[in-house]
Amino acid sequence: MRAFVEVDLTAIAANIRTISSRVDSEILAVVKADAYGHGLVPVAKAATAAGASWLGVALLEEAFTLRDNGVAAPIISWLTPPSSDFKRAIELEIDLAVPTILHLKLIEAAGKKAGKRPRVHIEVDTGMTRGGLLNEWAEFLTLINSSEVEVIGFWSHFARADEPKESANTEQLKIFEQRLEELYGVGVAPKYVHFANSAATLANPKSHNQIVRLGIAMYGLSPDVKTMGSSESLGLKPAMVLNAELHLVKDVPVGSSVGYGGTVVTSKDTKLGIVSMGYSDGIPRNTSNLAGVYVAGKRAPTIGRVSMDQFVVDLGVDSTAQSGDIVTVFGGAGYTIDEWAFAAGTINYEIVTRIASRVPRIYK
């Protein structure tokens, strides 16, 4: 097989149970973006089997796919532009985020067409300055009590939860609690309040409320290695291993330029391996030689530019690797996902979510 991802569903289940044992809140498993590249439906089913009470997605299309595949757990979808199919969402009992007055009106209208009372989670902007009610909040309060929706939840999102010592976290929480009191003041009392993402779940108990939303931590990765520690130190097990086949192995002499633009020239005689993956598969084009693969019992760093369908690694002159060998790109005994993220100047979230759909997922 040219390239494939191994997903350890037992690791995902173990991560959920580990975190669940540390909190008193219900667990919402965030499975947006194809479950961070791990596979939407298999991960959703594994997560609910492991004790997650809720599922969270960005897009309604993701929620529809879950329902179409027999997933009956409560689902909230929070990135729903005005053109979204709210009627179908309501018919399928998918909870909807309300970030604006316009959304409230559209969801109300869709509920009338569906003949059902929509379930909504009010989203407030507490400092992320992204989604959620901000300047419309005062007007929203005059409308919500007489609206034709069922307010199930109230929520917001931290901007810097992966920096636990930042005062911004305290400020956001203060605003959040103030907005909640104002909502109570107009006679609306949501059953579920949720604010904590993975980082806040791990580091900010004051933000836990009735639900915590597990994203990156559920997949066994640290929200930020520098500020919060590694997966291992957090008691998490990474669930993804990326493998690929060596297209060929070749001996090259000193002074050989490698890849497009000849950006690297070999400093000695060596052996190169051509890995049958590239940036079309999700390998970052700007990866440095701080990342690579594990093959024949050794690490082999990348060399030269990543191409669309392949990249080159320096195996070393004494390597026993051969054409057709399977290399571990990251995970398992290979380079970590965090090492790949550092080598590409990005975050572990991007490394796992960018692995293309043309790379098959195999589930343990």
The residues assigned a catalytic role are: 32, 260
- Rounded Cα–Cα distance for residues 98 and 107 (Å): 8
Take residue 196 and report the two structure tokens written for it: 């904590």
- Rounded Cα–Cα distance for residues 119 and 11 (Å): 32
Angle at 286 between CA 280 and CA 292, to 5 degrees: 85
Find the distance separating the first CA and the last CA of the chain, reported in whole Å: 17
Contact 192, 8 (CB under 8 A): no
Block residue for tokens 């999102």: 157
- Rounded Cα–Cα distance for residues 197 and 96 (Å): 18
The three-class DSSP label of residue 226 is: helix
Q: Alpha carbon of 58 to those of 40, 81, 108, 212, 261: distances in Å?
A: 12, 11, 20, 16, 39
**Backbone CA torsion sign across 23, 29, 35, 38:** positive
Angle at 211 between CA 208 and CA 225, to 5 degrees: 60
- Rounded Cα–Cα distance for residues 358 and 60 (Å): 23
